Structure 1
């Protein structure tokens, strides 16, 4: 159940950044959905790597990872900017710091917790 969820989040996140999405969705959604879904993706990714992790630890790990990535966007050494020039790396590392992204990450992790407690907990995934 985690892998399909991960793939769906990737498709929704990338789709939220598309030209079509900008034409049919409200600006608020296209502005913030990608960052919100990115943090949800991090949460689900952590569960994929550590399936027995408690909800609280998974949430703390996802939020911590997301905040560290966002704070790293305050630094622009040439080697890091060269990495960020790659579109695939930029999807993970981002390009520029935005305070609003921190709020999106909190909402995204909360969404991940909701998905985990609602849908994923019904799977065969063992939880302590």
Structure 2
């Protein structure tokens, strides 16, 4: 239960940081940083759901993020109406970009690495 709480807090911690990159970030951070942080948040969300399966969470997060990006190629009235809502737009995005796929991979890899280092340092402390 303790691990789930830690992963939830990590995911929640990333939300305001990711949103802030859209407003205060450099052009590079606006283009790529927010997407990487979003994917890292998704990774920690999957870690919360599957706290004992780090590599599974990595793959679930990557597939989830990629499916969301691929869904941006689909433009039916109903899904575009969801995207017009601020929350729907933040979750589903608006247009497909190849660079987003790279940003997602980087964000998930960084989250995976931080998770691994955090576990190792926690275990070595006890």
The equivalent residue for 1:117 is 116
1:4: how far off?
A: 2.1
1:14 and 2:37 aligned: no
- Structure 1 residue ranges without an equivalent (≥5): none
Q: How is 1:64-75 mapped onto 2 (pairs within 5 angstroms)?
A: 64-75=63-74
Q: Where does structure 1 differ by over 2 angstroms across 4 or more consecutive aligned residues? A: 120-124
- Structure 2 residue ranges without an equivalent (≥5): 1-5
1:95: how far off?
A: 0.9
- Higher relative contact order (CA closer than 8 Å, sequence separation 6+): 1
Structure 2 length as normaliser, TM-score? 0.86
Q: Which structure has the highest helix share of the two?
A: 2
Q: How is 1:1-128 mapped onto 2 (pairs within 5 angstroms)?
A: 1-18=6-23, 21=24, 25-53=25-53, 55-120=54-119
Q: Is the 8 A contact 2:22 2:29 kept in 1?
A: no
RMSD over equivalenced CA pairs, Å: 1.6
Q: Is the 8 A contact 1:2 1:120 kept in 2?
A: no
| Deviation string, structure 1 residues 9-43 (Cα, Å, up to 9, x no partner) | 1011001001xx1xxx4321222110000110110
Q: How many residues align?
A: 118
Structure 1 length as normaliser, TM-score? 0.85
CA distance in structure 2 between the aligned counterparts of 1:92 and 1:40, rounded to whole angstroms? 13
